[in-house]
Amino acid sequence: MKNNYVAACLILLLFWSLKTFGTIVVLNGLTHQHTGSDGSIFTGKIKLKNDGDKPEKFVAYKQDMLFSCGKGEVFSSTETHDRSLKNWLKTSTDGKSLSAGEEYDLFYTVNIPRQVDRKGTYWLVIMIEPGEPISNSEKNGLNIASKVRYAVQVLVDLGSFESPKMIFEDVRLKKTQISSRLVEVQLKNEGLFSVRTKMQLEIYDAKGQKVKTLEGRSRRVFPEKCSNFEIEVSDLPKGKYDGVLVADNGRGLFGSNLTIEIE
């Protein structure tokens, strides 16, 4: 009983003193997309605001977003890929201090070479984060410091858009509970352009009647890369069901079949 009391006191103390100190926020979205051709020059801006009540500095730096089938995305300052904007993009500053409530436009410029061998989507992320480690100390209480980092994607489509072919690289069914299953999908884009894709699962019973339609999160799938999707299946009576996965990228529909058995 004493241990339970101590644990409860610690939990209450945590909630009383938990604070988030990161105050730099992005106001105009985390994806910026441009369309053009060889020799184009693109400019854009990332609207920032210090949403706190004291001055705060931010830093901005470039990183490549790397993908490999079977793994999630990785951000890197050292590794790169053949569709990177790293050598073409420059920001107006790499850091600045904003006063409380101040808004600021961080501009970037993308200068495309006159001759680019491969058409399609090129990309990069601009990282925005507080410029110094955040900490706080009080005489009494437990304090947790936090640091919020934003990854702002910049995408450039070069050439005439071509709707890509989507391939179901892998589909797995995992048992999460007695009557629940998790459908894991690895979808590959075999085209040259990135597309935002919505994953949907249609479930049919033994009589061929549709009993449920489930939707997963919409995700962008980059050229010649994979993205992972998950759909939770629950509240189905015992039995065997046929499932149809449908990937909709707005330009075409791509499907795959699977069997779902609830014990």
32 lies in the same domain as 131: yes
29 lies in the same domain as 123: yes
32 lies in the same domain as 125: yes
Average pLDDT over the chain, rounded to an integer: 86
Q: Is residue 257 part of a domain?
A: yes
pLDDT on residue 69: 81
Q: Is residue 7 part of a domain?
A: no
Final residue belonging to a domain, choices 158, 185, 211? 158
Q: Is residue 108 part of a domain?
A: yes
How far is it, in rounded angstroms, from Cα 172 to Cα 188?
Answer: 15
The pLDDT-based confidence of 66 (bands split at 50, 70, 90) is very high
Mean pLDDT of 53-81: 90
The pLDDT-based confidence of 188 (bands split at 50, 70, 90) is very high
CATH of the domain at 39: 2.60.40.10
Q: Which two tokens stand for residue 7?
A: 């644990």
Least confident interval from 141-145, 240-244, 255-259:
141-145
Q: Is residue 193 part of a domain?
A: yes
49 lies in the same domain as 95: yes
pLDDT on residue 213: 96
Q: Is residue 154 part of a domain?
A: yes
pLDDT on residue 147: 67
26 lies in the same domain as 153: yes
142 lies in the same domain as 209: no
Q: Is residue 95 part of a domain?
A: yes
Q: Is residue 88 part of a domain?
A: yes
Torsions phi, psi of 189, nearest 5? -95, 115
> Which residues form the domain of 192?
166-262
pLDDT on residue 146: 58
154 lies in the same domain as 45: yes
26 lies in the same domain as 134: yes
Task: Count the domains in the chain.
Answer: 2
185 lies in the same domain as 256: yes
Residue 153 CB-half CA count within 13 A: 16
pLDDT on residue 46: 98
How far is it, in rounded angstroms, from Cα 106 to Cα 165?
Answer: 36
Instruction: Write the DSSP string, 234-263.
Output: -S--SEEEEEEEEEE-SS-EEEEEEEEEE-
Instruction: Give the rounded distance of the alpha carbon of 84 from its chain centre.
Output: 17
pLDDT at 215 over 90: yes
28 lies in the same domain as 144: yes
The pLDDT-based confidence of 7 (bands split at 50, 70, 90) is very low
How far is it, in rounded angstroms, from Cα 94 to Cα 105?
Answer: 12
Share of the chain above pLDDT 70, in %: 86
Final residue belonging to a domain, choices 158, 180, 195? 158
55 lies in the same domain as 99: yes
Q: Is residue 66 part of a domain?
A: yes
Final residue belonging to a domain, choices 158, 179, 194? 158
127 lies in the same domain as 37: yes
176 compared with 140, residue with greater pLDDT: 176
